[in-house]
Amino acid sequence: ETGVTQSPTHLIKTRGQQVTLRCSSQSGHNTVSWYQQALGQGPQFIFQYYREEENGRGNFPPRFSGLQFPNYSSELNVNALELDDSALYLCASSLPSESFEQYFGPGTRLTVT
């Protein structure tokens, strides 16, 4: 196990609602990245947090936002949910080292109806 935890494991929401997903990083890892994985696709980078600041963002609209806390845990917030937001949301933690190896949590499966 990587030591990265995510909650909840599954979630069902309706269109237009808002959702918050949570992630606790591996001990000592100060960088957290969020990814969205649609069925049959590879994970897509949403954004990364380092020392409580957004440190890079993928091609996702502003209704996807996040936070990182002093203990390096993180939240992903999605407003105005759309059907296409249904996916597996993965959190990965890492150290800002040259190797950039990232370790993933088990994910939160979000279904938007």
Partner 1 sequence: RKEVEQDPGPFNVPEGATVAFNCTYSNSASQSFFWYRQDCRKEPKLLMSVYSSGNEDGRFTAQLNRASQYISLLIRDSKLSDSATYLCVVNLPTGTASKLTFGTGTRLQVTL
Q: Which residues bind partner 1 (CB under 8 A)?
A: 2, 31, 33, 35, 40-45, 48, 50, 55-56, 58, 88, 90, 92, 94, 96, 98-107, 109
Least distance CB 16 / partner 1 (angstroms): 27
Cβ–Cβ under 8 Å, residues 9 and 110: no
Instruction: Tell me the two tokens of residue 97.
Output: 């080292």
The Cα–Cα gap between 44 and 67 comes to 18
We find the least distance from the C-beta atom of residue 20 to partner 1, in angstroms, to be 20
CB of 61 to partner 1, least distance (A): 17
DSSP bridge pairs for 25: none
